[in-house]
Structure 1
Amino acid sequence: MKKTNQMKKIIYAFTAIALLSVGQSCKKDSEFLDKQPTNVLPIDAVWKDPNLVLTVMGDLYDRYPDNQTIESWASFAVFDEAFASAGGDYFRHQNIEYGYDAWRYWDLGVYGYIRDLNMFIKRGQESTQLKTEDRDRFLAEARFIRAGVYFEMVKRMGGVPLLTTPLEYNNGDNVSNLQFPRSKETEVYDFVISELEAIKTILPDDPTIQSRATKAAALAMESRAALYAGSIAKYSNAQLTLPGGEVGISSALANGYFTKSLNAAKEIINGGKYTLYKKNPTLSDNFAALFTDKSNNPEVIFVKDFKLKTNKVHGFTIDNQPRSSAEEAQGGRLNPSLNLVQSFEKLDNTYASLASVDASGNTLYYTNVTDIFAGRDARLAGTVILPGTAFKGKTVDIWAGYQLANGTIVTGDNFAQSKTNVLPGNAGSVQVVGGDGPIDGLEFSAQSGFYIRKYLDPAKGSGQIGTRSEVWWVRYRYAEVLLNAAEASFELGDLAAAANYIKPVRDRAGLTTALTPAQITFDRIVHERKVEFAFEDHELWDMKRWRLADKVWNGNNMSAADFINATNIGSATRTSTQVFGLWPYKYYDPGNANNGKYIFKVIKPSKVTAAHRFRLGNYYSSIAQEVLNGNPKIVRNPNQ
């Protein structure tokens, strides 16, 4: 904590903010968004009234940390999952190296949040005027949030000072009494896991509660945290440790953590209260609807919710809707990369490039613009708006121009859909580029050849500034529980169990030939999480815990040859340092059998000018200088 902050006695109070859902009783999941704001809430008054406690609880939930999120679309363009098609965000593809302070989460504000949680817990434990069941639930929720905050800190920073009681400073006190060293990385993970174990049976075991902590939410967090700790223990090395254990976990602890992860996942699975979302017979539409359907959704475990009637909404759909059919004159900012799109395997469980040429390098021609994507994992079209597919009932118009027989390209440089007399022998106005592009360097056009679908709101008005979207942000869902169980089983050597856990996730995606136990490899585990959890704030943390980040984002430039007839698509260490795209063109050669068919070209947007590099020093974010200045007991992270 910063010394200037320590020279003040911190007063326990919250400015309450109305958030999360609707309702009145402290028993329901739909209570937060209709709560009326209250100014400063004296502690004695708060713990006399469950509705006031609930309002404070709402503020604590609202401050829960996320890294990538639908409230900040550009955060998804940082790790080559997508291109940021907005002029002010091109810099994301022009950085050579990630900064040491990237994804940092340790400052005075964080420990202010921790202190608020600790004080809330302390005062709640002292209270006597609430019903026991209400008080205990509130306290368990606060401990759940606190565990989540420490989990966010440890996965970014390594070991941090582990404070579980509120600190007070009075004039004349010895400041050194408020200075604590960093706990070991394993101690923070152990705290998170033990807290979640302790509260799981206190929290409601109710799958209809999704924006507040439940037994399943606690178990899902426990499973994820233990899996992260186990991976760090297994895959780390001496370069990523500190002598005091502030960074690094002994490999001897790996199986213990994997076992805890598996047991927590199995407790949810065996409880039978959650299932994969399977409401829509069209598999790609079903996968997309998983993230937008808030009515009896059996897969969602814990979310950040939004509500139109309380004006707690976000602009993800406004920012990213297809430009040609947008409800406002904006959209198209997030363009999924060919790097990601090509990762989705074929329905026969094999990996293959999207075929723009044959094995001899000859151009391939397609009758329909969607044909090149046929026979792929349904999650592809559920995650990405592909050329020729629809959103809100309107077909996206993605094609880059005409290619003439002599190789000349005829195209446009803006969203205007027609030019005059531009094709040989063709009189009159002819459209020469898609209404969505792609047009290189034109923001909001599909510069990679794709738009994002995941989290886009299909509701009318969601793409309008005056309305916006109430689609929730899903933090934990049942598919992750299954894949956590699969990975933990794999790491513990039980390949048959791993195959069984991964099977329903792949079945839902249309991959109906089950993987055999012998086919469950580390590469398969990495691949499955990549395609299932794209744009869900998993990629960075998975690459970090597996110690793959410096290998995947290795600073080496890429070329079209890395995508054409590639042979290493399913490799966990496949380089992905620069965003590439796939552009469809209409072939123009009247009289030729291929006239009017589509060809495809692998391209690199011109705004992609440098390769991302993840260094050893990026595995743990740097500690801010103000923190180091205020506490001499804090040691720096390694390799910085």
Structure 2
Amino acid sequence: MNTTIIRNIGCGLLLLGATACADYLEKEAFDIITPEQVWKDPKLINGVMVNLYDNMNLEDFNYWQRDAWRLQNASSMSDEAQGSFQKDPMFDNGNATYTYEDALFEQKFSDRYKFIRNCNDFISQLEEATSLSDSEKKLLLAESRFIRAFHYFTMVKRYGGVPLITEPQVYDPNNLEALMVPRDKEVDIYNFIVKESQEAAQDLPETRGADAKYRANKYVALALCSRAALYAGSIARYGTVQLDGLVGIPSSEADRFFQISYDASKAIINSGQYTLYNKKPDNKAQNYCDMFLKGNGDNGEYIFQKQYNVAGGKGHDWDKRNAPFSYRAGGWGCGIAPTLEMVETYEYIDGSEGTLKLEENGKPVRYDKPYDVFTNKDPRLFASVYMPGSPCQTTEIEWMRGIIVSDNERYPATSQPDGGNTVEVNGVTYSTSGKDGGADAGDASKTGFYQKKFWDETLTDMNMGKSETPWPVFRLGEFYLNLAEAAMELNNSSEALEAVNKIRERAGIALLSSINMEKVRHERRVELAFEGHRFWDMKRWRIAHLDAKQGGLNGFRGTALYPWHDIRDDKYVFERGYNSPKQLRIFLEKNYYTKINQDDMNSNPNLIQNPGFTN
């Protein structure tokens, strides 16, 4: 989605300043424009639409809980990864515990309803726009309804039922009560999202021209329908109804929502408008990697994407914040560190379980190079994670825990790589770490891994705001998996198996001969890793509160992989690092919903707080 900044201040003045990002907005400067002028000029009307897109919360590269340096995003808050820096609140002090925050990833009503109000204003005034044809109005109306539904989805997955406001509210100091709308039931919000996205899909075109290719089309709306309905079905099946339905969905609604998700996913797949990216079938790892690189968003698989443009002041910081230690070019970097649990989720290409082969007959397996331990793993691992020995630019990732001198003598790394990790043995000086890490101290990865997916090895300007890799809001791979999950929930295992095997075939891994829900969820975890799904999936499946050994987040810290260099025979052996310098996590059942912000509660006494939280 190409975006440009065009601020809409309620129904009032518009300040327009076009940038190079807006392919579909004529580029010229404007003075202050009045609403009356806007609705007489199709160019200005489309400028308002650009602003509506720009205010969507797409949870992209720049989406962090509070400050970005805290490294709390949807990956590090799930079991996919840790944050590397030793920073508060959950990535320091390994002797402490971290209880998931009441307001984690909150979307304050005072913020989100401002953008919903803008949608409502646009919809209500669109009919009076004499400068537009009926077909143009119909298209803009469908777009604005899709955007509004997306806003409600970002809220319902956090809070459950929220106030459903579909008409512009008018401020009347003598009747403030009219503005204090109570919460609707969670099922009603999901019903609204489904209805709006389905009806928007009917009026949106199947394809867009070059001037509007990043705006919503029919299948973008159906993608929202598929995802939202799948969430609703899961909550109905695995959740609990509380507060008379303000949170939770009756179990009797599960099949209906799963069928809606299945139908929307099927329509997207059968449309033929999108294909699973497979331009390098002979190099599956590179093929999968390429799909997520800069300039490759128009790859045939992305249904809806967020584009970035550095020249227009709309770049992002992902590469700077996440570069492996020795590739940082002057600080920051190291950000999201995948866990060993995530690495071992990737199977071997023959379909066997993905636990790394570290021991044999009770003795450590000795490898010539650290990278050898990953031989024959799922190609998607090599495309998604930098491991010890992974090629990167013109060198390799080096992460080493220390050296072995004898059975009873080891020297571990004690500081970050630039801290002088050396030891002299028999007159020879050895490094006890790699150039990209090995110790529990400092900013480098503590797990032995860095996130590769989305990282641009060709980037030469390693400063903030210089990245242009697009963010995949919706891509076809998700909808094969949505279809598979919905099909399994509807007892249609044969179609679920077919859909999952389409994903595995593209990935270059052995096809399954049978299917169950565990295998569907496993495939989703691998295929969509680091794309912002896992945290929300764990919540909607109601597994996050389980013990880590049961697949939940309680007691989860994240395990590391420790390569040791045995200087006696120049081989490498590995250990599992269970005592990471990270806090032990506690996810409580109340954390399936987010606490409503106190300012929002104070401004509307008709709101009821979510279960487990006090006002």
* Aligned-pair CA distance for 1:293: 4.7
Match of 2:6 in 1: none
The aligned residue for residue 403 of structure 2 is 402
Task: State the distance in 2 between where 1:57 and 1:167 align.
Answer: 20
SS of equivalent residue, structure 2 residue 557: coil
| C-alpha contact (below 8 Å) 1:347/1:375 kept by paired residues | yes
Q: Does the CA-based 8 Å contact 2:544-2:553 persist in structure 1?
A: no
Match of 1:51 among 28, 43, 54: 43
Deviation at residue 379 of structure 1 after TM alignment: 1.3
User: CA separation of 1:116/1:419 partners in 2, compared to 1, >3 Å: closer, same or farther?
Assistant: closer
Point out the more displaced range, 178-187 or 78-87: 78-87
Of the candidates 192, 214, 217, which is equivalent to residue 220 of structure 2? Answer: 217
Q: Tell me the residue number matched to 1:497.
A: 495
Residue-by-residue CA offset, 1:358-413 (whole Å, 9 max, x unaligned):
3x432111112111111111111111011111222331122222112224223443
**Gap change, CA 1:35 and 1:448, over 3 Å in 2:** farther
In structure 1, distance between residues paired with 2:293 and 2:475: 13
Say whether residues 1:551 and 2:579 are aligned partners: no
Return the TM-score normalized by structure 1.
0.87
2:351 maps to which residue? 349
Q: 1:300: Cα distance to partner?
A: 0.6
Question: 1:19 & 1:92 partners in 2: Cα distance?
Answer: 38
CA spacing shift, 1:418–1:142, aligned 2, 3 Å: same
Gaps of 5+ in 2: 1-8
How far apart, in 1, do the equivalents of 2:166 and 2:421 lie?
67
Contact kept? 1:437, 1:446, Cα under 8 Å: yes
Deviation sequence 1:28-74 (CA, Å, 0-9, x none): xxx5xx85565653222112222222222222212111446345462
3-state SS, counterpart of residue 88 of structure 1: coil
Paired letter, 2:506: R
Structure 2 residue matching 1:96: 3-state secondary structure:
strand
Residue of structure 2 in register with 1:628 after alignment: 601
Residues 285-364 of structure 1: matches in 2 within 5 Å?
Answer: 285-295=286-296, 296-358=298-360, 360-364=361-365
Secondary structure in 2 matching 1:142: helix
CA contact (8 A) 1:441 1:605 kept: no
Matches of 1:218 and 1:61 in 2, distance apart?
13
Matches of 2:358 and 2:373 in 1, distance apart? 8
Among 222, 234, 239, the residue aligned to 2:237: 234
User: Equivalents in 2 of 1:417, 1:183: separation in Å?
Assistant: 56
1:325 & 1:299 partners in 2: Cα distance? 30
Residue aligning to 1:515: 512
Q: Which residue of 1 aligns with 2:475?
A: 477
Quick one: which amino acid aligns to residue 250 of structure 2?
S
Structure number with higher strand proportion: 2
Q: CA shift at 1:499, angstroms? A: 0.5
Q: Distance in 1 between matches of 2:508 and 2:426?
A: 46
- Change in 2 beyond 3 A, CA 1:40/1:137: farther
The alignment partner of 1:87 has SS state of coil
1:130 partner letter: L
Hey, what's the Cα distance between the residues in 2 that align with 1:85 and 1:510? 31
- Paired position in structure 1 for 2:577: 603
Q: Is the 8 A contact 1:158 1:620 kept in 2?
A: yes
Distance 2:50 2:579 in 1: 43
> Which amino acid letter does the alignment assign opposite residue 575 of structure 2?
K
Asked if 2 retains the 8 angstrom alpha-carbon contact of 1:440 and 1:605, the reply is no
Question: How many Å separate the matches in 2 of 1:576 and 1:286?
Answer: 36
Distance 2:111 2:416 in 1: 45
Instruction: Report the Cα offset of residue 160 of structure 1.
Output: 0.7
Distance in 2, matches of 1:152 and 1:458, equals 32
Quote how far apart the aligned CAs of 1:498 are. Answer: 0.3
* Residues 47 and 129 in structure 1, CA contact (< 8 A), matched pair in contact too: yes
Letter in 1 for 2:577: I
* Alpha-carbon shift at residue 104 of structure 1 (Å): 2.1
**Cα contact 1:398–1:434 (8 A) shared by 2:** yes
| 2:42–2:131 Cα contact (<8 Å) kept | no
2:612 match: 639
Contact kept, 8 Å, 1:16 with 1:40, in 2: the verdict is yes
User: How many angstroms apart in 2 are the aligned matches of 1:426 and 1:447?
Assistant: 30
Which of residues 454, 466, 469 in structure 2 aligns to 1:468? 466
Aligned to 1:568: none
Aligned-partner residue type, residue 409 of structure 2: T
For the Cα contact (< 8 Å) 1:14–1:39, is it kept in 2? no
Structure 2 counterpart of 1:541, from 519, 536, 555: 536
Instruction: Tell me how far 1:540 sits from its aligned partner.
Output: 1.7
Q: Distance in 2 between matches of 1:81 and 1:146?
A: 30
Report the secondary structure of 1:310's partner residue.
coil
Q: Which amino acid aligns with 2:597?
A: A
> 2-side partners of 1:20 and 1:102: how far apart?
34
CA positional deviation for 1:627: 2.3
Which of 66, 69, 74 is equivalent to 2:61? 69
User: Match of 2:90, as an amino acid?
Assistant: F
For the residues of structure 1 that align with 2:40 and 2:533, how far apart are their CA atoms?
40
Contact 1:210/1:300 (8 A) holds in 2: no
Tell me the equivalent position of 2:589: 616
**Structure 2 matches for 1:95-114, cutoff 5 A?**
95-114=97-116
Looking at structure 1, the residues matched to 553 and 85 of structure 2 have their Cα atoms a distance apart, in angstroms, of 27
Q: CA deviation at 1:127?
A: 1.1
CA distance in 1, matches of 2:243, 2:222: 30
8 A Cα contact 1:71 1:316, kept in partner: no
Within 2, Cα distance between the matches of 1:289 and 1:105?
33
Give the conservation status (yes or no) of the 8 Å contact 1:69–1:536. no
Q: Report the residue type matching 2:299 in the other structure.
A: N
Cα deviations by residue, 1:520-572 (Å, 9 ceiling, x for unpaired): 2121122111111121111121111111111156xxxxxxxx7xxxxxxxx75
Amino acid at match of 1:586: H
Offset of residue 15 of structure 1: 3.9
Question: 1:117: which partner in 2?
Answer: 119
Aligned-residue identity in percent: 33
TM-score by length of 2: 0.90
Give the whole-Å Cα distance in 2 for the aligned partners of 1:501 and 1:228.
19
SS across alignment from 2:473:
strand
Q: CA deviation at 1:195?
A: 0.6
Q: Secondary structure at the match of 1:602?
A: strand
Contact kept in structure 2, 1:417 and 1:432, CA below 8 Å: no
User: What SS does the corresponding residue of 1:234 show, helix, strand or coil?
Assistant: helix
Distance 1:343 1:22 in 2: 40
Quick one: which amino acid aligns to residue 482 of structure 2?
A: N
Instruction: Please tell me the residue identity of whatever aligns with 2:540.
Output: R
Q: 1:137 to 1:294 in 2, by over 3 A?
A: farther
Which amino acid in the other structure matches residue 622 of structure 1? K
Q: Distance in 2 between matches of 1:20 and 1:190?
A: 38
> How many angstroms apart in 2 are the aligned matches of 1:344 and 1:580?
15
Q: Classify 1:223/1:497 alpha carbon distance in 2 versus 1 (closer, same or farther; 3 Å).
A: same
1:366–1:597 contact (8 Å) kept in structure 2: yes
Deviates more, 1:533-542 or 1:621-630: 621-630
Contact in 1 for aligned 2:20/2:27 (Cα 8 Å)? no
Return the alpha-carbon distance in structure 1 between the equivalents of residues 547 and 199 of structure 2: 38
After TM superposition, give the deviation of residue 508 of structure 1 in Å.
1.8
